[in-house]
Amino acid sequence: MIINIHEEAAKKKEIWIKVQNYIVVIFRDKLILEKISLILHKSKTKLSVILSAIYYFKKVRGRYALYLKRLDNLVTCNVTKYLVGKKRQVALQATENDFNLFVISIIIACKHLLDTVYTNYCWAEVSGIPISNLNAYERTILDILDYRTHIPNQSFYNIVDEFEKITGNVTIDRTSPTKKTSTLKCVLSCITTKLTCINF
């Protein structure tokens, strides 16, 4: 039994080193990398959450320009111009800083995948991002994602493949990070016009 605990600890340490190597490829800034590594280590974030957060991070990066165009189309009078200007400012703060964007991506991934999560107050304390900013960034990132946090299986597999390619052949669980349900429950859910599968 003791050997198994040591083996498991060694395996977790090996995977953690691989995660850090993978994150180095995304964040070339050493200070950001250290801060993110510290947050991931303190929060004991699961690999599936990290990979999902990377998916959100990349998706937001790709959709940011489209989001700004969508905001510009909302301007019809001075009041909306002011409100859109505020939204643009928050979006800029949330996405320009890789650290902010990745922390918010982790929060969204945790809330999407896990049943028990840290509160935003805890994330604010761990990350050093003021709670009011953190909440505003989260709303903005969700708005950029159109509140669509589901990760298609193929997209998740692509992230897993990229992770394995960069870190070496570490075999990780290839099941989609979304909550698992039986096929019958999924069919019943779809029949009742719900598009997502929910655990009962």
In a domain, 197, yes or no: no
CA dihedral 92, 93, 98, 100 (to 10 degrees): -140
Q: What is the pLDDT of residues 61-99, one digit of tens each?
A: 888 888 777 777 776 666 667 677 777 777 777 777 888
In a domain, 196, yes or no: no
In a domain, 45, yes or no: yes
- Read off the pLDDT band of 42 (50, 70, 90): confident
- pLDDT value of position 135: 92
Q: Which whole number is the average pLDDT over 157-163?
A: 88
- pLDDT value of position 103: 93
Return the residue matching tokens 């070496």.
168
**Could you give the CA distance from residue 110 to residue 123 in angstroms, rounded to a whole number?**
11
In a domain, 159, yes or no: yes
Phi then psi dihedrals of residue 5, to 5 deg: -65, -40
Question: Which of 50 and 1 is assigned the larger pLDDT?
Answer: 50
Q: Is residue 120 over pLDDT 80?
A: yes
**Could you give the CA distance from residue 188 to residue 7 in angstroms, rounded to a whole number?**
42
**Could you give the CA distance from residue 87 to residue 81 in angstroms, rounded to a whole number?**
10
**What's this model's pTM, rounded to 2 decimal places?**
0.73
The 10 Å CB-count burial string (b at 16+, else e) for 129-154 is beeeebebbbebbbbbbeeebebeee
In a domain, 170, yes or no: yes
- pLDDT value of position 39: 87
In a domain, 156, yes or no: yes
**Could you give the CA distance from residue 13 to residue 2 in angstroms, rounded to a whole number?**
17
**Could you give the CA distance from residue 185 to residue 197 in angstroms, rounded to a whole number?**
7
CATH number at residue 183: 1.10.472
Q: Is residue 107 over pLDDT 90?
A: yes
Question: What is the per-residue DSSP string for 51-97?
Answer: HHHHHHHHHHHHHHHHHHHHHHHT--SHHHHHHHHHHHHHHHHHHHS
**DSSP character at residue 130:** -
Give the contacts of 185 (CB within 8 A, at least 6 positions apart). 197, 198, 199, 200
- pLDDT value of position 154: 92
- pLDDT value of position 22: 78
In a domain, 199, yes or no: no
Q: Is residue 197 over pLDDT 50?
A: no
Q: What's the domain count of the chain?
A: 1
Domain that holds residue 97: 2-191
